[in-house]
Amino acid sequence: MRDLDVRLAVRRRLNELHRGDLDTRIVEEMGVWAGSVRIDIAVINGELCGFELKSDRDTLERLPAQAAIYNRVFDRVELVVGQRHAAKAKALVPSWWGITIASESSGGVCLALERKGDVSPTRDAKLIAHLLWKDEAIEVLDLFGLAKGWRSKPVGLLHERLAYELPFDELRQAVRCKLKARVKWLGKPVAN
């Protein structure tokens, strides 16, 4: 079972689940923490959900470091893992992560939910604000009357201001709105 096979199976499942939902954006290879780490698939709607894919051909070396960042950014995270790595992977991710087992079948890749996920207890406002590009951060500051004197500041300071000045849920909502409104991501059009 190849990485691409798992990705296509997850993408099909997400497309079916969110078909016709104009409030949902599905993004592949979404950068977090200034783009230094990428989650395989993100679903952006009333929550920010990440899907990390580990096929049987992958290694789990990077998973602990990835999890440490994803835990602070995403409302929910689901690990989609091949059977070969399932037991070890479960021990490497927090108990609130959802886990889906990917296995080969005659019809392609089969996805079986092993553990339903929950909301991250460790979300970090500053890392969530870091998802915004500079112009988006200024627009959000402007929306809340906080942009005066800040437009020329470095983007990191804008992120800090957003994280410290906005109530957490309002920041999350504003960031999700900006992410969903992006026309291009990684130089490619964003798919619904």
Q: Domain containing 91 — which CATH number?
A: 3.40.1350
pLDDT tier at 75, thresholds 50, 70, 90: very high
d(CA 14, CA 7): 10
Give the DSSP H/E element, type plus range, for residue 102.
strand 98-105
- Which residues sit opposite 41 in a β-bridge? 28, 51
What's the whole-model pTM score? Answer: 0.92
d(CA 169, CA 156): 20
Place of tokens 């207890």: 121
Co-location of 93 and 130 in the same domain: no
The DSSP code sequence of 81-142 is EEGGGHHHHHHHS-TTSEEEEEEEETTEEEEEEEE-----TT--HHHHHTTS-HHHHHHHHH
Co-location of 167 and 101 in the same domain: no
Per the CB < 8 A criterion, the answer to whether 82 and 6 are in contact is yes
- Asked whether residue 9 is domain-assigned, the answer is yes
Co-location of 96 and 11 in the same domain: yes
Which of 71, 96, 115 is at the close of a domain? 115
Question: Which residues constitute the domain of residue 144?
Answer: 125-185
Smallest CA-to-CA distance from 14 within 48, 34, 43 is with 43
- Asked whether residue 28 is domain-assigned, the answer is yes
Which of 97, 115, 133 is at the close of a domain? 115
Co-location of 12 and 91 in the same domain: yes
Co-location of 111 and 149 in the same domain: no
Co-location of 107 and 178 in the same domain: no
What does the pLDDT look like over 156-171, one tens digit per residue? Answer: 999 999 999 999 999 9
Q: How far is CA 15 from CA 12, 25, 31, 83, 84, in A?
A: 5, 10, 21, 24, 26
Say if residue 134's pLDDT is above 90. yes
Mean pLDDT of the chain: 92
Which of 115, 136, 166 is at the close of a domain? 115
Co-location of 152 and 178 in the same domain: yes
